[in-house]
Amino acid sequence: MLIVIDHQQQGVSYWRSTTGQVVDPLVINKWPERLNVVTNKVPTVIAFAETKVTWGFEINQFARDDLRTQVEEHFKLLLDHELLNQVNSSQTILVTTDRVQGWFETFLNKLYDWTCKQLEALMETKLEEMTVEYIFSVPAAWKEGTVDDYLRIIKQAGFGSVTGRHTASIGLNEAEAAAVETAIHPNLNANGNLNTKGYKV
């Protein structure tokens, strides 16, 4: 199975072939608090309230207005060290690299758990019993060091953690991922099926 995660808006597409043939890709379009709505991407946002961590669509306006809840978003942009330095130069409370990476690892761990849950329900088999390749996209402007940090965070979050069966890698930049999405999005139906016959991965 090939699973592609789009960095730009955290969309998850997947391909599965039992015959060696390339098959039409599908997308995960059910998310916590959006089970009855077809939504192909999940917001990159997390919230911390005492010992509870919520993410994506679980975070509503009530949570955002609750002073006891720490809501973090837009943090994936701050993985870029240069951008983080620019942001810190204009504010009094500094955000450290460790904090940004910790927020993103927490979010990706939630994404990993949900992806596994959804795919195992669809496939009716444990993902750990399958050969899985996770491919992530990154912004074209990211430097090698930032890409290396991102890949480390990806793996710490659980992607590629099944030794011998699962791998995780950086395979696309955002421009390439956007080109793929542009090619397949016009044929996306309400069930999340993508008609991409002739498209090879």
pLDDT digits (tens, 9 = 90+) for 21-48: 656 678 899 999 998 888 889 999 999 9
Count: domains in the chain: 1
CATH of the domain at 145: 3.30.420
Looking at residue 10, what is its pLDDT? 73
| Cα–Cα distance, 97 to 99 (Å, whole number) | 5
For the ranges 86-90, 134-138, 165-169, 176-180, the lowest mean pLDDT is seen at 176-180
The pLDDT-based confidence of 122 (bands split at 50, 70, 90) is confident
Residue 67 included in any domain: no
Q: What is the pTM of this model?
A: 0.82
Number of residues assigned to the chain: 201
In a domain, residue 81? The reply is no
Whether residue 128 lies inside any domain: the answer is yes
In a domain, 134, yes or no: yes
Domain that holds residue 38: 2-42+93-187
Residues 160/168, Cβ–Cβ less than 8 Å = yes
Model pLDDT for residues 50-86, shown as the tens digit of each residue:
889 999 999 988 888 888 899 999 888 899 989 999 9
